[in-house]
């Protein structure tokens, strides 16, 4: 579907109502509303999620998978329902393929450690891209230090897309291709399906860091043809303290465990142990029970709105923001990343005149505008951009064009102070 088609479709969603679901956005500081433009970092939570968690803690909290009384059974069912909801949300073939971790970072470490230790030795190749988040770099560095694997990097084009010219050569002989489905700095949406196909053609496992993608787009892990996909609850209206890993059962089944302890075992003796079936095998210890309930509520919340709607809304906001900021500030603002909205999500990293991003963010904060200034946990990418920081405004379903206007207005203030 092209952008134009989408804009012509009637706007089914009342975004003002959506916004009013988020109590945080009703907060006033010095009488002024808070304008939250840091959702690529972590998202706000709708009342529905907050209430689901409080209600569960107040009336239904009980252990999972351990005790046999009804309340424990009900809590376990609620926990497993959340797993089913997540599976449905990303179109996983089976709920048992969804692993609850603590965050996407743990999901990626799980794969790098469990799969990596089993399958990678001296000289084996893992391919990453220049736009990865530290979460999809450091675990591989750790593995490289431990067992001498080689890391190769897919470079970027001038407008911040993956430069795939040499992809086949890079993938040649690789055992793993791990890449982001959306850059948290540039907003770039790489061609995931194509990359998975290329990985498989080279005999590599295709691992997708979908942290930034899943919260903002309809996700279909099967259509992607991916082998493993990591994402996080806290960026998709769900609570902190829980992350996700989806993987093909065959792979999850064959990998050794990552964290050992209760719940992930079949039997434990003084001289060894055997593991429980997936997903329990990867969920050692007391899991994020309350968090799973919250995440389930978040998924239902997003499903009710529809992820295509969310994407369309964010595309419109992004177009409006690009038009407004460039229209107003021309060459005084540099917005990184692709301008074609088909391949970019609602993340705007920018440089404003010669003012340091940290100072930009300070001036915006004066008007309660929350943007992130820094390296966005992507230092290798920042070096490529020739900056050690950018300011980043990122949108979500609760943002409006008013927020964009407020951002544009507030930038003027920076000029006043720094007189540049």
Partner 1 sequence: MAGLEDLYREIILDHYRSPRNRGELPTPPAVRAEGHNPLCGDEITVFIDVDDSEGEGVVRDVKVSGQGCSISQSSASMMSQAVIGKSVPEVLAVVKRFKGMMSLDTGNDDDTGADEPTIGTGGDGAEHPLGDLEALQGVVKFPVRIKCATLAWNTLLEALDQ
Ligand X SMILES: Cc1ncc(COP(=O)(O)O)c(C=O)c1O
Catalogue the active-site residues.
377
Q: Which residue in the block uniquely carries the two structure tokens 């970027």?
A: 156
| Cα distance between residue 326 and residue 324, in whole Å | 6
Contacting range for a second copy; rule: CB under 8 A; set: 22-30, 80-88, 156-164, 300-308: 22-30
- Note whether 41 and 270 are within 8 A (CB): no
Q: Smallest distance from the beta carbon of 212 to ligand X, in angstroms?
A: 5
Among 3, 20, 76, 153, binds a second copy (CB under 8 A): 153
Looking only at the bridges linking them, the beta strands covering 272-275 and 265-269 are: antiparallel
Among 103, 113, 178, 217, binds ligand X (CB under 6 A): 103
Encoded tokens for 283: 């969920």
Q: Which residue in the block uniquely carries the two structure tokens 């009384």?
A: 69
Q: Which is nearer to a second copy, 220 or 365 (CB)?
A: 365
DSSP string, 217-266: S---HHHHT-SEEEEESTTTTS-SS-EEEEE-HHHHHHSPPSS-STTSEE
Q: Could you say which residues in the range 220-279 bind ligand X, by CB under 6 A? A: 232, 234, 243, 262
Residues 193-201: contacts with CB under 8 Å, at least 24 apart: 193/223, 193/224, 193/225, 194/164, 195/162, 195/167, 196/224, 196/225, 196/226, 196/227, 197/225, 198/167, 198/168, 198/171, 199/127, 199/171, 199/174, 200/225, 201/168, 201/171
Position of minimal CB gap to ligand X? 285
Encoded tokens for 169: 């050569």
Q: Could you say which residues in the range 274-333 bind partner 1, by CB under 8 A? A: 276, 280
Q: Could you say which residues in the range 93-132 bind a second copy, by CB under 8 A? A: 101-106, 108-109, 112
Class of residue 61 by CB neighbours under 10 A (exposed 0-12, middle 13-18, buried 19+): middle
Q: Smallest distance from the beta carbon of 392 to partner 1, in angstroms?
A: 11
Class of residue 103 by CB neighbours under 10 A (exposed 0-12, middle 13-18, buried 19+): buried
Among 9, 32, 69, 168, binds a second copy (CB under 8 A): 69
| Cα distance between residue 65 and residue 292, in whole Å | 14
- Work out what residue 180 binds among a second copy, ligand X, partner 1, none; the CB cut-off runs from 5 to 8 Å by kind: ligand X
Least Cα distance to 230 among 361, 351, 98 occurs for 98
Interface with partner 1, residue 389, by CB under 8 A: yes
HSE-up (13 A, CA, CB side) for residue 113: 13
Q: Could you say which residues in the range 114-173 bind ligand X, by CB under 6 A? A: 133, 135-136
Site string for partner 1, 348-387 (x = CB under 8 A): --------xxxx--xx--x------xxx---x--x----x
Q: Smallest distance from the beta carbon of 185 to ligand X, in angstroms?
A: 9
Interface with a second copy, residue 20, by CB under 8 A: no
Interface with a second copy, residue 285, by CB under 8 A: yes
Q: Smallest distance from the beta carbon of 262 to ligand X, in angstroms?
A: 5
Contacting range for ligand X; rule: CB under 6 A; set: 7-15, 87-95, 204-212, 392-400: 204-212
Interface with ligand X, residue 39, by CB under 6 A: no
Site string for a second copy, 390-419 (x = CB under 8 A): ------------------------------
| Cα distance between residue 367 and residue 145, in whole Å | 45
Binding site for partner 1 (CB under 8 A): 30, 65-66, 68-70, 72-73, 76-77, 263, 265-267, 276, 280, 356-359, 362-363, 366, 373-375, 379, 382, 387-389, 417-419
């Amino acid at each position: 579907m092209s952008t134009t088609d989408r804009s012509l479709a009637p706007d089914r969603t009342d975004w003002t109502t959506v916004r009013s679901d988020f109590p945080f956005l009703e907060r006033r500081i010095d009488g002024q509303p808070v304008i939250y433009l840091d959702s690529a970092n972590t998202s706000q939570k709708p009342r529905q999620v907050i209430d689901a968690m409080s209600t569960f803690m107040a009336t239904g909290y009980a252990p999972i998978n351990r005790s046999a009384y009804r309340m424990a059974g009900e809590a376990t069912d609620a926990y497993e329902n959340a797993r089913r909801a997540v599976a449905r949300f990303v179109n996983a073939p089976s709920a048992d393929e969804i692993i609850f971790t603590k965050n996407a970072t743990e999901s990626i470490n799980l794969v790098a450690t469990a799969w990596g230790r089993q399958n990678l030795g001296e000289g084996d190749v893992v391919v990453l891209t220049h736009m990865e988040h530290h979460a999809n770099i450091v675990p591989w560095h750790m593995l490289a230090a431990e067992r001498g694997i080689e890391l190769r990097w897919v470079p970027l084009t001038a407008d911040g897309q993956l430069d795939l010219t040499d992809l086949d050569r890079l993938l040649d002989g690789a055992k793993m291709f791990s890449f982001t489905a959306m850059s948290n700095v540039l907003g770039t949406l790489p061609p995931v399906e194509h990359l998975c196909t290329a990985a498989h053609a080279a005999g590599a496992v295709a691992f997708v860091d979908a942290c930034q993608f899943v919260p903002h787009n309809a996700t279909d892990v099967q259509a992607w043809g991916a082998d493993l996909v990591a994402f996080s609850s806290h960026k998709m209206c769900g609570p902190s303290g829980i992350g996700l890993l989806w993987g093909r059962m065959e792979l999850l089944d064959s990998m050794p465990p990552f964290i050992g302890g209760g719940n992930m075992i079949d039997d434990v003796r003084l001289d060894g142990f055997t593991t429980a079936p997936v997903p329990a095998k990867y969920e050692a210890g007391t899991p994020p029970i309350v968090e799973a309930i919250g995440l389930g509520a978040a998924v239902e919340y997003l499903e009710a709105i529809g992820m295509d709607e969310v994407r369309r809304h964010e595309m419109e906001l992004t177009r409006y923001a690009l038009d407004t900021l460039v229209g107003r500030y021309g060459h005084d603002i540099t917005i990184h990343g692709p301008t074609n909205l088909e391949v970019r999500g609602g993340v705007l990293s920018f440089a404003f005149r010669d003012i340091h991003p940290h100072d930009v963010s300070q001036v915006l904060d004066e008007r309660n505008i929350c943007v992130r200034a820094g390296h966005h946990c992507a230092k290798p990418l920042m070096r490529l951009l020739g900056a050690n920081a950018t300011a980043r405004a990122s949108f979500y379903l609760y943002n409006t064009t008013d927020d964009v206007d407020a951002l544009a207005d507030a930038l003027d203030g920076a000029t006043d102070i720094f007189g540049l």
